[in-house]
Every structure is written in C-alpha cells, then in structure tokens.
C-alpha cells in the first residue's frame, strides 16, 4: 500500500493524497495555519526534511533538521487543540497541538507528549511556521 492510498498521518481521517500529500508532494500551499501544521506533522512522520525547511520562516529556519537521526521516533498521533487567526491582520496565527510519540521503539516504553503553541505567519499568500512555545 502506498502512502498516498493510506489514511493521513495527521489524524484528519482523510486519505494522505488529498490531505497533507497535496502540500508535501505537489507543492500546493496550505490554505490555513492549521493545514500547514497538520502537513508539517505528516512531514515529520515521513521524515520529509525538504518540506519542513521550505515551510519554516526564513527568520528562524535552521540549516538542517538531521531527520535521519529521527528514524527511531515513532509518531503516534496528533491532536489539534485550537487554531486562532489574528483578526487584526489575518496574516498571523497560532495552532496549539499535542503530538504523541515514542523514541527508540522499545516495547513497553510509554508514549511521550509534545504540547506546543506554534506561531505562524502568512507572507505573499503562503503560511510559514515561525516558532513555538511549550506551555
């Protein structure tokens, strides 16, 4: 079974190709900060570093993510808590989420949780991840 024919990693309940795949694989721009957040989560699951870096704002973008070292991370799920667009300009937003994962793939190891409030900005019609804080 190909990735495109599977249910999307982002837990939207949709198939990958029309969900996050259209952004990651087809260079289509995510229409909302939440859609970008979901596609970035899927890109982490699939270790798609090029997409992650291209959707990271240039002001905070690292040189690389070294995702080949993340091969032992098993992503377990994504829960979007809230998505708020700044009403004053419509070009900045936050997405609060919880991502669950295991590291090392050891049986019996408890799942970890990453809780983040991510900041996004839209420039020339494209959303970018800027940074995040951990409440």
Domains of the chain: 3-133 (3.10.450.50)
Separation of alpha carbons 104 and 7, rounded Å: 24
Instruction: Look at residue 2 in the predicted model and tell me its pLDDT.
Output: 64
Instruction: Look at residue 72 in the predicted model and tell me its pLDDT.
Output: 75
Instruction: Look at residue 102 in the predicted model and tell me its pLDDT.
Output: 87
Intervals of the chain under pLDDT 70: 1-4, 69-71, 105-109
Instruction: Look at residue 78 in the predicted model and tell me its pLDDT.
Output: 97
Instruction: Look at residue 45 in the predicted model and tell me its pLDDT.
Output: 93
Contacts of 88 (CB under 8 A, 6+ apart): none
Instruction: Look at residue 106 in the predicted model and tell me its pLDDT.
Output: 58
Of 128, 123, 124, 102, the residue nearest 39 (C-alpha): 128
């Amino acid at each position: 079974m190909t990735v495109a024919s599977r249910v999307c990693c982002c837990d939207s309940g949709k198939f990958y190709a029309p969900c996050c795949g259209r952004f990651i694989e087809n260079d289509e721009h995510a229409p909302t900060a939440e859609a970008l957040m979901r596609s970035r989560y899927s890109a982490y699951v699939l270790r798609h570093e090029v997409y992650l870096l291209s959707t990271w704002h240039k002001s905070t973008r690292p040189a690389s993510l070294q995702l080949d070292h993340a091969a032992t991370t098993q992503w377990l799920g994504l829960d979007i808590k809230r998505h708020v667009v700044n009403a004053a300009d419509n070009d900045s937003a936050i997405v609060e989420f919880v991502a669950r994962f295991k590291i090392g793939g050891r049986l019996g190891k408890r799942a970890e949780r990453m809780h983040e409030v991510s900041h996004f900005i839209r420039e020339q019609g494209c959303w970018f991840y800027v940074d995040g804080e951990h409440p």
